[in-house]
A = this chain, B = another copy of it.
Amino acid sequence: MNNNDKPPLRRVTSIDVAERAGVSQSTVSRALSGSETITEATRRRVELAAEQLGYHVNARAAGLRRGETGTIAIVVIGREGQGPAAINPFYYSLLGSTCAAAAERGYEALVSFQARPEEFFGHYVARRQADGVVVIGTATNEAAWDYFRTCAEQSKGMAFWGSPFDDSVWVRSDNREAGRLAVERLARSGAERIVFVGDTASSQRQFRERYEGYRDAMEQAGLLPVEPVISDGEDRVSQGRNAIRQMADSGAGFDGLFFACDAMALGALEELASLGIAVPDQVGVIGFDGLGSGEFSAPPLTTVQPDFAQAGMTLVDTALASGEDRPERRVKVHLVERASVR
């Protein structure tokens, strides 16, 4: 029950277990790793000894010998000069699903948040800390992506979520489908002058893909696609606010809005309200991301969301695929109906 025999002076090793069970170290190893060639009786004896001694196999020594790390590294890129508190919740969801996917594949997840150049590091595979690395996070930190782009040239086993460059192993949402879904839903509500808001030249490549999906869907619906509305702003929320102000000033009419991301849509909702433009009655609004914040906005935000579980799994599998086959991986998206479209 308690340790009044003798205090553990030294960490208990497989040799201690072997001694206690009256077998060799090899047998302990085999018994505890589930080898087939061990008698049930022996295995039980070993397991008992291990439990009595509070023994757990030293994962690092085992891995060193086996040559596998059994872990996958996940790096989350943040905006320079901002802490993890400023991370877009979208990436937290993605991080969570990626960890879960890693676990499902039998891997541990080593995660790091990187924002400043001094802390950029991606050589986890070379350092034998991981068998693969997945990189997610804001596309706005150029220095970080430059760094990781170089990393990817040097090492195998890297997978990126929505990288700002195409020449590496990336995983993305099916953004064209997202555009289609949004336009279709807006059109169904009766909207005809639907505009896409977001910078199609953004380092976030996925924005452009969403715009293309919008454009094609508009044409297919017999509607007139217009040029994307691009606005400035410190962050995505103010970009959304400013876009509305800009459109109001220009006097261009619109009755449906598809935003490149939820944060912009959320800012827009505020601005629309303060301008007295009713959502969804005068204008329907759809975002992209599926942020939790959209559940409580006024009105709750209808949005397109990727399948996070699939995203995490694809990221992990891609990182582990050792780069020989480089399939373009697209993650399914679906519409989350809330109340910003009639």
Contacts and interface: CB of A to CB of B under 8 A. Distances in A.
Interface string A287-303: 00000111111100000
B128 A60 contact: yes
Interface residues of A, number: 52
A61 interface: yes
Contacts of A55: 126
A292 B84 contact: no
A127 to B, nearest CB: 4
Contacts of A83: 96-97, 100, 308-309
Given A99-B112, A103-B113, A108-B129, A89 B292 contact: yes
Nearest to A273: B298
Contacts of A112: 99, 103, 108-109
Interface in A93-117: 93, 95-97, 99-100, 103, 108-113
Contacts of A149: none
Give the one of A61, A64, A108, A111 with max B CB within 10 A: A111
A69 interface: yes
A92 interface: yes
Interface centre among A96, A293, A296 (most CB of B within 10 A): A296
Nearest to A74: B111
Nearest to A123: B56
Given A60-B60, A269-B296, A296-B296, A126 B54 contact: yes
A210 B122 CA distance: 42
Contacts of A318: none
A271 interface: no
Contacts of A277: none
A59 interface: yes
A237 to B, nearest CB: 8
Interface string A62-104: 0110000101000010000001110101001101110110010
A266 interface: yes
Closest 7 CB pairs of A and B: A84-B96, A298-B298, A92-B92, A56-B126, A56-B127, A296-B297, A293-B293
Contact of A113 (B54, B84, B96, B295): B96
